[in-house]
Amino acid sequence: MLRREPPAIELVVVGDELLSGEVADTNSAFVSGQLAGIGLSSARIVEVSDDADDIRGELSQAISRSDLVFVLGGLGPTPDDKTLAAVADLCGQRLVRHKRTLRRIEAGFRRRGKRLPRLARRQALVLAGATVLDNPVGMVPGMAVEYQGAVIMLLPGVPVELEAIMTQGVVPFLKKRFRLRVSARVRIRTCGVPEAAIADRVKRVLVPYPGVHVGFYPHTAGVDLVIRGESPRKLTGLQRDIARLLGDAVYETGDRDIGEVVGALLRKRGLKVATAESCTGGLIGDRITDIPGSSDYYAGGVVAYANDAKVHLLGVKPQTLRRHGAVSSSAVREMARGVCGRLGADVGIAVSGVAGPGGATRKKPLGLVFVGVAVTDRCMPADEADGSGASDRVRTEKHIFQGIRRMVKEKAAVAGLDLCRRILLERGSGR
Amino acid sequence: MLRREPPAIELVVVGDELLSGEVADTNSAFVSGQLAGIGLSSARIVEVSDDADDIRGELSQAISRSDLVFVLGGLGPTPDDKTLAAVADLCGQRLVRHKRTLRRIEAGFRRRGKRLPRLARRQALVLAGATVLDNPVGMVPGMAVEYQGAVIMLLPGVPVELEAIMTQGVVPFLKKRFRLRVSARVRIRTCGVPEAAIADRVKRVLVPYPGVHVGFYPHTAGVDLVIRGESPRKLTGLQRDIARLLGDAVYETGDRDIGEVVGALLRKRGLKVATAESCTGGLIGDRITDIPGSSDYYAGGVVAYANDAKVHLLGVKPQTLRRHGAVSSSAVREMARGVCGRLGADVGIAVSGVAGPGGATRKKPLGLVFVGVAVTDRCMPADEADGSGASDRVRTEKHIFQGIRRMVKEKAAVAGLDLCRRILLERGSGR
């Protein structure tokens, strides 16, 4: 059987709003990530204006170089959406009304009890001869057209719509249309160690693994390492070496985020968690509840922003706040215990800190954050439990995070979830 | 005085992680947005791999066409950061250690009580002859170099670092370096009306305003309209017409988000708000506390995810939950009242819904969300207050939102905040 090279791919992303900075292009990353999952990668991404000539120009260049060209955005119903007309013009194709799409659009408006605006009908126009890829969460569908030996793939620019069409329509389409060489990839996710320190350590174990590439991707809340190689077998040894080297800084080998990892640990052991948040303002609860089915293990939480809320809703002692302040090890200790008791949870996560820009003092600098996790007997190995049921085991940690308010909040939320993760793993052996 | 054309601008964004979809490029949008703020716009954005040849190739092309070229990313300390070497090579410049930057890096590690990793010193290398733009929140600084009549602007790829250097260093630098023609721009932010309906209505009032351009930017939580024209005077009339047409769907004329708008209303009237969240899981609290100084008006909240939490922490009647369910007008009514009372707040925002993908029934479909806002006497015009102090005025709204879990959460959070906004505005007259 002939071994075919993987198709050359380019992305043309359309929108004045991208060039003017009104909107960030998250779509090309999503498309590229999905392509990586089936062993493909884009060689180049270009963002252009809504001008029909610009779109046609970039697209015809891309077609001349590549086998597969994605055009993202500009398919909406408003006058500044020019992609469809530009592609029709380039390919010499008519636009036709797509019946299945029109029925979906009408049903969508009916379901929400709203009148169908006249412009909405334009969203059912497609290129004659195109393969139409249904939009399960919105109006405008995706389309695939063959032109001059290349496949042009059109996707609407609203991120959730593009994502749904990409995963449910485009990926299956491409798997059939192209013969794909799948390469191996592993993602190792860490938190609590700076990028330079991780790179320093990892460099040492890289030597015996030629042909394997490691990328470092710092996020606000930690550093991801992505290892790539020709076959999964080649990666296994390196992956094990890196995991040993970085120890419990690694919270995930795979694509789950920290909220999902903690959720899986709780679910596995049948435990319930509750949150007591001050400076994070609800972000930990938000992260936990982003995971479908989190109601099975998340009891709820208290956003104790004001000191009154800490006292009345969590039972923090006023003298603790007077003596040590709300940003203190003692305060998060009582918050974590309090929320466990109030919500009947097995594990309590508490966070209090100075997110800034105001509120810092000499003793409590900007970015100072205390996290605390309380566990009840149910989380303990049988030989450690004292049977009293009291949630008196609490561990706290002190951090000083760099960055602006949102960064401090995100780092603090991850630190709270990560402390919970490490405690659940340590305590896991006895059950 | 000679009227100069604005400089032609391109962005070269560097990173394998962008082409492979590990990370979305939010940096070019930030840079473009800041440029728009000083009347500049980029004509083209290209994303390339970490390969030094690719970087040099794209950069030399961009320099031949443009007056100002940004190179974003690839300045970090790890082996896959190749931008600095590529630019040094292209321009024939040495790399030198920048003393002020090295001192900042050493101080940063000292402050956090961490050892300086060897690789971290590399972050103080800059191009000889470059203008160094300090990084106030991280290690690697920005740089501006003149080469063949163009300005090359190098910025690190970590978003918060790029953002800080861009606003504090690059914008002032560009204002001095180029003579700028400032164009006018107004952003009108709406929620609750679909894009097609907004475009339908706005089209009618556009006719008498030639030379003015309106862009429609749908987000998960609403639609932004951006009006652009040569002078602010030209925009005023259209802006007024649009505001009249869209009525209270407009929550902001400017760049504030809904959390900031609600915060400003609360602050102005000296009111405290509290939140009672079920399906949003803490997201409303998170949004409110993203605004610096929100502790002045945010008392805190309860994330009442489980029914027990709704009963015990908010005083929702068990029979209400039995009779109507947790996703009901009655439940959010009692949640909003309950959180006001428990936290001593003047305004209570409550949300309960089916975020999915599980939990839907025939009567309670996916995306069904009830929001409720309770107000106490302090929010009322004097002639309406009954003096009892009871928080018995509650308004609720029912929504059915389309989309995946995260979308429903975001739309629900905005709907809760927006109901609060509208009520505060109506009730504002009496104070």
Residue B166 has phi, psi (to 5 degrees) of: -60, -50
Residue that finishes a domain, picked among A177, A210, A234: A177
Nearest neighbour of A283 by CB, restricted to B78, B282, B344: B282
> What are the pLDDT digits (tens) for A179-222?
765 567 888 999 998 888 898 888 888 877 877 878 888 887 88
- Sheet hosting strand B213-219, strand order edge to edge: B213-219, B222-229, B184-190, B250-253
In DSSP terms, B95 is beta-bridged to B127
Report the amino acid identity of residue B298: Y
Residues of A in contact with B283 (CB under 8 A): 282, 286
Across the interface, do B308 and A32 touch by the CB < 8 Å criterion?
A: no
The residues in B 295-334 lying below 8 A from A, measured between CB atoms, are 295, 298-306, 308-309, 312-313
How much of chain B, in percent, has pLDDT values that exceed 90?
60
Q: From CA A421, how far away is CA A419, in angstroms rounded?
A: 5
Of A278, A410, A415, the closest CA to residue A353 belongs to A278
- Residue A105 belongs to a domain with what CATH number? 3.40.980.10
Other Cβ atoms less than 10 A from the Cβ of B5: the count is 8
Q: From CA A337, how far away is CA A330, in angstroms rounded?
A: 11
A188 and A97 fall within a common domain: no
Neighbouring residues of A423: CB distance < 8 A, sequence distance ≥ 6? A347, A373, A375, A379, A395
Instruction: Say what the pLDDT of residue B163 is.
Output: 92
Residue B345 has pLDDT above 60, yes or no: yes
Residues of B in contact with A301 (CB under 8 A): 282, 302-303, 305
Q: Does B282 touch chain A (CB under 8 A)?
A: yes
A395 and A294 fall within a common domain: yes
Instruction: Say what the pLDDT of residue B329 is.
Output: 97
**Overall domain count for chain A:** 3
Residue B392 has pLDDT above 70, yes or no: no
B284 and B420 fall within a common domain: yes
- Mean pLDDT score of chain B: 89
Q: DSSP labels for B392-413?
A: -EEEEEEEE--S-HHHHHHHHH
Of B174, B177, B92, B101, the closest CA to residue B127 belongs to B92
Across the interface, do B17 and A300 touch by the CB < 8 Å criterion?
A: no
Neighbouring residues of B42: CB distance < 8 A, sequence distance ≥ 6? A19, B9, B10, B11, B28, B31, B32, B35, B70
Report the amino acid identity of residue B107: A
Residue A367 lies in a domain: yes
Residue B389 has pLDDT above 50, yes or no: no
Instruction: Say what the pLDDT of residue B76 is.
Output: 84
Q: Report CA-CA distances (Å) from A128 to A42, A56, A258.
A: 27, 18, 46
Residue B123 lies in a domain: yes
The residues in B 157-216 lying below 8 A from A, measured between CB atoms, are 158-160, 164, 187, 194-197, 199-200, 203, 215-216
Q: Does A223 touch chain B (CB under 8 A)?
A: no
CB A300 within 8 A of CB A292: no
Q: Which residue has the higher pLDDT, B343 or A429?
A: B343
Across the interface, do A32 and B41 touch by the CB < 8 Å criterion?
A: no
Of all residues in chain B, the one with the smallest CA distance to A359 is: B293
Of B278, B276, B271, the closest CA to residue B347 belongs to B271
A301 and A411 fall within a common domain: yes
> Any idea which residue has 């249904």 for tokens?
A134
Across the interface, do A117 and B294 touch by the CB < 8 Å criterion?
A: no
Nearest neighbour of A46 by CB, restricted to B36, B46, B280: B46
B284 pLDDT band (50/70/90 cuts)? very high
Mean pLDDT over B150-176 rounds to 93
Neighbour-count burial of B209, counting CB atoms closer than 10 A to its CB (0-12 exposed, 13-18 middle, 19+ buried):
middle
Instruction: Say what the pLDDT of residue A367 is.
Output: 93
Residue B234 has pLDDT above 80, yes or no: no
Q: Which residue has the higher pLDDT, B199 or B322?
A: B322
Nearest neighbour of A309 by CB, restricted to B80, B119, B299: B299
- Residue B349 belongs to a domain with what CATH number? 3.90.950.20
Residue A3 lies in a domain: no
**Distance (Å) from the C-alpha of residue B244 to the closest C-alpha of chain A?**
19
Residue B4 has pLDDT above 70, yes or no: no
Residue B2 lies in a domain: no
Neighbouring residues of B130: CB distance < 8 A, sequence distance ≥ 6? B93, B143, B144, B145, B154
Q: DSSP labels for A110-136?
A: HHTT----GGGGGGGEEETTPEEE--S
Other Cβ atoms less than 10 A from the Cβ of B402: the count is 19
Q: Which two tokens stand for residue B401?
A: 């939102």
Of B126, B117, B120, the closest CA to residue B155 belongs to B126
Least confident of A221-230, B273-282, B297-306: A221-230
CB A301 within 8 A of CB A273: no
Instruction: Say what the pLDDT of residue B237 is.
Output: 87
State the residue range of the domain holding B163. 9-177
Other Cβ atoms less than 10 A from the Cβ of B207: the count is 7
A160 and A57 fall within a common domain: yes
**Chain centroid, CA B248 distance in Å:** 21
Instruction: Say what the pLDDT of residue A388 is.
Output: 53
Residues of A in contact with B160 (CB under 8 A): 220, 403-404, 406-407
- Residue A191 belongs to a domain with what CATH number? 3.30.70.2860
Across the interface, do B302 and A299 touch by the CB < 8 Å criterion?
A: no
Residue B93 lies in a domain: yes
Residues of chain A with pLDDT under 50: 1-3, 389-391, 430-431
The residues in B 328-367 lying below 8 A from A, measured between CB atoms, are 342-344, 355-359
A320 and A224 fall within a common domain: no
Q: From CA A247, how far away is CA B258, in angstroms rounded?
A: 42
Residue B3 lies in a domain: no
Instruction: Say what the pLDDT of residue B281 is.
Output: 97
Q: Does B387 touch chain A (CB under 8 A)?
A: no
Q: Does A249 touch chain B (CB under 8 A)?
A: no
Q: Does A250 touch chain B (CB under 8 A)?
A: no
Residue B276 lies in a domain: yes
> Any idea which residue has 């092309």 for tokens?
B61
B61 and B196 fall within a common domain: no
Report the sign of the C-alpha dihedral through residues B241, B246, B250, B254, in that order: negative
Q: Report CA-CA distances (Å) from A31 to A3, A152, A153, B65.
A: 25, 14, 11, 29
Other Cβ atoms less than 10 A from the Cβ of B208: the count is 9
A171 and A200 fall within a common domain: no
Residue that finishes a domain, picked among B253, B268, B283: B253
Of all residues in chain B, the one with the smallest CA distance to A46 is: B46
**Distance (Å) from the C-alpha of residue A287 to the closest C-alpha of chain B?**
8
CB A201 within 8 A of CB A245: yes
Instruction: Say what the pLDDT of residue A415 is.
Output: 97
Neighbouring residues of B423: CB distance < 8 A, sequence distance ≥ 6? B347, B373, B375, B379, B395
Residue B272 has pLDDT above 90, yes or no: yes
Residues of B in contact with A121 (CB under 8 A): none
Residue B4 lies in a domain: no
Task: Please give the model's pTM, rounded to 2 decimal places.
Answer: 0.79
What SS3 class is residue A294? helix
Q: Does A32 touch chain B (CB under 8 A)?
A: yes
Residue that finishes a domain, picked among B126, B155, B177: B177
Choose from A48, A284, A305, A312 for mutation: most chain B CBs within 10 A.
Answer: A305
CB B70 within 8 A of CB B11: yes
A224 and A299 fall within a common domain: no
> What are the pLDDT digits (tens) for B214-225?
888 888 788 999
**Distance (Å) from the C-alpha of residue B383 to the closest C-alpha of chain A?**
31
Of all residues in chain B, the one with the smallest CA distance to A78 is: B199
A205 and A274 fall within a common domain: no
Report the amino acid identity of residue B248: D
Rg of chain A taking only CA atoms, in angstroms = 26
Of A14, A15, A144, the closest CA to residue A91 belongs to A144
Q: Report CA-CA distances (Å) from A171 to A82, A162, A163.
A: 25, 12, 11
A248 and A343 fall within a common domain: no
B263 and B239 fall within a common domain: no
Choose from B16, B19, B42 for mutation: most chain A CBs within 10 A.
Answer: B19
The complex's ipTM works out to 0.78
Instruction: Say what the pLDDT of residue A381 is.
Output: 63
Residue B431 has pLDDT above 60, yes or no: no
